[in-house]
Structure 1
Amino acid sequence: MNIILSNASSDPIYIQIMNQIRQSILNGELKAGDSLPSIRQLAKDLQVSVITTKRAYEELEKEQLIDTVVGKGCFVSGANKDFIREQRMKRLEEKMMEVIRESKELSMKQQDVIDHMTLLFEEEQTP
């Protein structure tokens, strides 16, 4: 697992860690049952406080993306595919809301946004 921290980011370090692990789980790089580095090992690897990595893991556990087994470590949750899909859809909707807000600030009409999205979607599918 490769986590890259940015000092230039406005996000706190634990959020950066959490977001990157979450993304690895949601895009399938990390599968159900995969073990994560221990809190201490991750802190050492990233050269951050143990408290920082612990908080990131706790937040991921609240989201039911990882499970902690006392004495064994942290593992990617066995959450079913529907749950993971729902989580991804929620994140996609948040991004779409950002696009809607931005398009309104640009005084774009709904159809203009749809047309632009369709064009981008088609370009992405062209090899």
Structure 2
Amino acid sequence: MEIVVSNKASQPLYEQIASQVKAAIMSGELSAGEALPSVRAMAKSLHISILTVQKAYGCLQDDGFIEITAGKGCYVSAQNQDFYLEEQQKRIEEKFAEAIEIARTSGISLDKLTELLTLMYQEDE
């Protein structure tokens, strides 16, 4: 797993780390029970503060993606996929709510909106 962070990004460093670890877990690059680099090792490889990595790992643990065991390290949680999918569904629902509001105010019918969504979804298949 390769993590890349940038001081120039609008997202804080700890969020960059957390989102990349989440993506690696969801893609299967990291599997349940697999060990993550220690806080010190991650901080050293990224040339950032230990506290930043600790905050990222804390967020990942709070979100159920990793389990931290004192003295043993950080491991990918077995229960992360359902939580992540629920989180993604909530994000999609928010975007749909925006699209529906625009469609209603523009007079676009549900059928037309459904047709547009279907076309866009199938476009990359």
Q: TM-score, normalised by structure 2?
A: 0.83
Task: Give ranges in structure 1 of 5+ residues lacking alignment.
Answer: none
Structure 2 matches for 1:100-111, cutoff 5 A?
Answer: 100-102=97-99, 104-105=101-102, 107-108=105-106, 109=108, 110-111=110-111
1:27-77 Cα deviation digits (max 9, x unpaired): 322110111000011011111110000000011111121111221210001
Note if contact 1:3-1:20 (Cα within 8 Å) is conserved in structure 2. Answer: yes
State the structure with more CA Rg: 2
Cα RMSD, aligned residues only: 2.1
Alpha-carbon separation, structure 2, partners of 1:58 and 1:21: 12
Give 1:34-113 correspondences, 5 Å limit.
34-79=34-79, 84-102=81-99, 104-105=101-102, 107-108=105-106, 109=108, 110-113=110-113
Number of aligned positions between the proteins: 122
TM-score (norm 1): 0.81
Identity of aligned residues (%): 31
Shift of 1:9: 2.2
Stretches of structure 2 that go unaligned for 5 or more consecutive residues are none
- 1:9 matched to 2:9? The reply is yes
